[in-house]
A = this chain, B = another copy of it.
């Protein structure tokens, strides 16, 4: 049979990240390609003890169907933390548990975007976010960033030039893939622009807890007096990525629709891990745990940056993130980044070429993304030195 697929799925290409991740299953390959948290960051002992308690005390609840919105005590704790720590959420907002932040983005796209709507985003940005919007038939318009984040002049032009502009998709803090953080001033300007043009903002904040330099900057959602910002967060980078547990905070009217979308999809998020996370937040010191992860990533990012400074040709530019998992390297214009990536893979070092992060696939790109949370210290040093050699090969040509 000749299968006819839906139009909405036709613009999604399988990203090269997936192909690269398959190669990185080879233990000889040093990988800077993943976006995974450090395995040593998982609170294994605590989870093990809490698990034992769950199977002893309330196993039926942990294995039976539950409500779509999320386990009520966990919802309360998430809402409280968002409010107290980030000033996120007011009386018109509510919180919903989702199966990872990515699912939040997908449901937001589903309930808000008609096919042909335009989503304005940072350029480059997270491929999973873009593909969630693409999978519901939305078009993407990417806006360049400067050191303070997305450029407001071009953002306003894009809003004016796209009559069906529906939403601005942003990762203001430790952006994926660039590691950049939007300044407070820029956040205010972006919010005011969205308010002026009556357009929604999706603030995707999976890395916000992972600041290892400088001071926290208030989320855009904390400025939201008009109900125009939806906020996605996650436990994937702080407790466990594999349990698939994230959350959405936003206008209750929008969240009611998202609950319907979740109900027809996975019905509810795995309830055992909702109970487990609730108990974790109750019994253990989550902030102290996060502090340990920050220390770990500070050390790893410093090591990567020091090794880059020592070994990379000076024509290669790179970002110095204040948190999160990634930094972003920009090569001189003459370099073919796909050839460069291929050559590094031959030398058993993997990273993600920049193309994957472009809203417009065909735009030229001379960048690549490096992850420092997953590789060992030794791999960071050896891998960066090998990349430096490949850079020299290409620049000497």
Please report A residues at the B interface, Cβ cutoff 8 Å: 1, 3-9, 12, 14, 18, 34, 36-37, 39, 42, 44, 47-48, 51-52, 55-56, 59-66, 99-100, 102-103, 106, 110-115, 128, 131-132, 134-136, 166, 198, 200, 226-228, 236, 240-244, 251, 253-254, 257, 260-261, 263-273
Contacts and interface: CB of A to CB of B under 8 A. Distances in A.
B62 A55 contact: no
A96 to B, nearest CB: 14
A6 B61 CA distance: 35
Contact of A128 (B4, B34, B55, B264): B264
Contact of A59 (B44, B226, B269): B44
A112 B251 CA distance: 31
A1 B100 CA distance: 27
A63 B51 contact: no
A63 B44 contact: yes
Given A51-B52, A102-B266, A128-B264, 7 more contacts: A9-B257, A63-B241, A99-B266, A115-B115, A131-B260, A242-B268, A244-B270
A21 to B, nearest CB: 8
A48 B44 contact: no
19 contacts: A3-B254, A4-B112, A6-B136, A7-B114, A12-B264, A44-B55, A51-B51, A51-B52, A51-B55, A64-B242, A99-B244, A99-B265, A102-B264, A106-B265, A128-B263, A128-B264, A243-B272, A265-B265, A266-B266
Nearest 5 A-B pairs (CB), nearest first?
Answer: A48-B55, A63-B240, A242-B271, A99-B266, A44-B59
Contacts of A272: 242-243, 273
Given A44-B63, A261-B135, A272-B243, A5 B112 contact: yes
B51 A64 contact: no
B6 A63 contact: no
Contact of A243 (B4, B18, B270): B270
Nearest to A245: B270
Nearest to A59: B44
B270 A5 contact: no
B6 A111 contact: yes
A392 B1 CA distance: 54
A44 to B, nearest CB: 4
A99 B265 CA distance: 8
Contacts of A112: 3-6
A244 B265 CA distance: 11
Among A51, A106, A198, A242, chain B packs the most CB atoms within 10 A around the CB of: A242
A134 B110 CA distance: 12
Contacts of A198: 1
B267 A270 contact: no
A270 B273 contact: yes
A273 B99 CA distance: 14
A45 B131 CA distance: 41
Given A48-B59, A242-B63, A266 B103 contact: yes
A268 B21 CA distance: 15
A267 B129 CA distance: 12
Q: Which of A36, A134, A270 has the most CB of B within 10 A?
A: A270
Nearest to A49: B55
Contacts of A18: 263
A14 B261 CA distance: 11
A111 B59 contact: no
A383 to B, nearest CB: 20
Nearest to A117: B6
Contact of A111 (B5, B251, B265): B5
Contact of A131 (B44, B106, B263): B263
A266 B270 CA distance: 11
B113 A264 contact: no
